Amino acid sequence: MADIAVYTSQRLLFGLSLLAFAVSLAAGRAIADPKPGIASPPVQTESATLDPAVAAANAEEIEADVSTRSVAITSSFTGIEIIVFGAIANAQPEIADAGDYDIVVILEGASERHITRKKNRIAGIWVNTQAITFDDVPSYYAIYSTKPLDEIADPFTLRQNDIGFERIRMRPVKGWETGITAGGLADFREALVRLKRDERRYIQDEYGVNFVGRSLFRATVDLPANVPVGPLKARVHLFRQGVLLDTFNTVVKLERQGLERVLYVFAFDYPLLYGLFAVLMAVCAGLLASAIVARVRR
């Protein structure tokens, strides 16, 4: 019972510290140093007083959240930055040095079918001749970490958790008939990631997660203007010396709103009416213009 009480009180303290963190973020202050009492110190004192068995039971965990859980995509949307922040619960005092913990923050869009095409020269003209269809490719993938991924964990662990551009799931389903070899397939995968990066839909910052003090961390995630609309899965992985300790999952909603939403729903759910509307608008614009011109000329 005592263990549970301690555990609950820790949870509560962390809830409070997170709240304070969020409030200070909302106030727009940069947190250079966490004030004593806001973040980890109380917890460390508590865990220090615990006997080893209890400490083992209370393994490190991540508590995290995003600054904006719901982003409105309106007609004037030009991109937004959201902040993923959190803290490491039960940070071990003997290794509480922030350098020992590594955080990877990933935001992932819905999986979509992507076709990668390659141009080849035929009779002096560049034409798309080869194409591979990949299924289940994330439409958006932003990855931020405390240091380069290969220094955080071994490739196997990274692959198991879909961490890193090279390990993004993409299932080739069609296109072998266009004469693509196994080596060629790798080129197509690389090209897909490269083009997605050019579009700013795939983003990586190897030093994008910063520790604030000992156990608080934050990452600024860039959602560009062309971010695919839909829910984004956000996950935060906690590593220590190559071992995955905990993963935190949450969702960021991206929703079309206002005129943008009206037009999108109109165009895709009532395409025939939308087309007629476009023509009507064109006719009215043309007539209005000639009426105005006639009046001005007179």
For another protein, give the closer residue by CB, 37 or 286: 286
Cβ at position 176, least distance to another protein in Å: 16
Cβ at position 228, least distance to another protein in Å: 8
For another protein, give the closer residue by CB, 48 or 287: 287
For another protein, give the closer residue by CB, 6 or 131: 131
Residues near 209 by beta carbon (within 8 Å), at least 6 away in sequence: 103, 104, 105, 144, 145, 146, 217, 218, 219
Judged on CB neighbours under 10 Å (0-12, 13-18, 19+), 94 is exposed
Which is nearest to 34 in space by CA: 214, 202, 220? Answer: 214
Cβ at position 30, least distance to another protein in Å: 19
DSSP secondary structure letters along 163-189: -SGGG---EEEE-GGGT--HHHHHHHH
For another protein, give the closer residue by CB, 31 or 110: 110
**Alpha carbons 1 and 66: distance in angstroms, whole number:** 33
**Alpha carbons 89 and 248: distance in angstroms, whole number:** 12
For another protein, give the closer residue by CB, 243 or 282: 282
**DSSP 8-state symbol, 154:** -
Q: Which residues bind another protein (CB under 8 A)?
A: 73-79, 110, 112-121, 124-128, 131, 137, 139, 188, 191-192, 194-196, 225-226, 230, 260, 263-264, 267-268, 271-272, 274-279, 281-283, 285-287, 289-290, 293
Cβ at position 233, least distance to another protein in Å: 16
